[in-house]
Structure 1
Amino acid sequence: MLRKPLLSCTLYPPQGAKVYLPDLKGGPSVWMRDKALAALERKGLLVREKDPKDGRRFRLAPTAEGGRLAEALKGYAQPLRKALAGVDAEALLIPLMALLEGLVRQGVMADTGLCLTCRHLRREGGFYCALLRLHLAPEDLRLACPDHAPA
């Protein structure tokens, strides 16, 4: 049975990547998105179906259980959105990244490539990536850097 698709994906992507999903500005990297989708498939929350019109493409759709879970979580973030209304997002950036850094260093959270946990990052007088030889503004710090090397 064909369900309403979440995404439509091409199996023959550019530059030899395994699966091409549009990289939306500000969204997760393709690698992180692929891992998340694979985990949802393994848990039986998402199913991959061939596109009936184009055999090179497939669609991702929620299973019945995935749909129930999505419905139950619809309003999950609403209290957070209300609490953050009017809060300066830039003022939260470094403290939130420091929180993630602390969780990674304690082993509570997997390291996703966070700049603050990278051996290339220097913090004298701001942020500096020794690998790229670039001074970084706080908003340039990444949550998932492809060049990350654990400190």
Structure 2
Amino acid sequence: MNLDQITEPLNQRLARGLARIAAVARQLNWQAAEVAGLSPTQADILGFIANRPEGVRLTKVAAHAGVSKATASEAVAAMERKGLVRKYADASDGRALALTATAEGRRIIQAWPSGFAPIVAGLSQAEQEALFGLVVKMIRQLQQRQMIAPQRVCATCRYFRENVAPGTTTPHFCAFVGAPMAGRHLRVDCAEHESAA
């Protein structure tokens, strides 16, 4: 018997497996959000804002969360009432508003448990590094296909030099810090990111 003929295609099995893993992580995140008195959308938005101490506009918040500007505005208003975020006039455009997390909002996010942490904890260091490389690749491809909001990933940063030392343990280079990088050093949300485009 040839199992390739009776087994559903690998891409379908992989997609189902990833969906199951994401469902577990989402459930863990929902439980953590409930404990913190937040909706899952509010928790996601708060994390995004807290990781941008320079402030961020509502349009970027909505794009990150994959929700309408109205939904993002409602979530931000609720968190503003809870004292977790604040609005202020954007320095680059006084007519626009920017958002930043309060000290309490940052405290909640710093203590936030990642829903994926217990999932990846069962993998060895080498397996985590291999999976991380694939995650970075998928984020990059999604961004190129405009299926995800722009991310502050190394691969799209003007300081990133990809594969300048092939065949070494640190093939990449970060011109911002002036240091060689291995795949495990790549970041998926770097505060120093500046778009290469």
More helix by share: 2
Higher strand share: 1
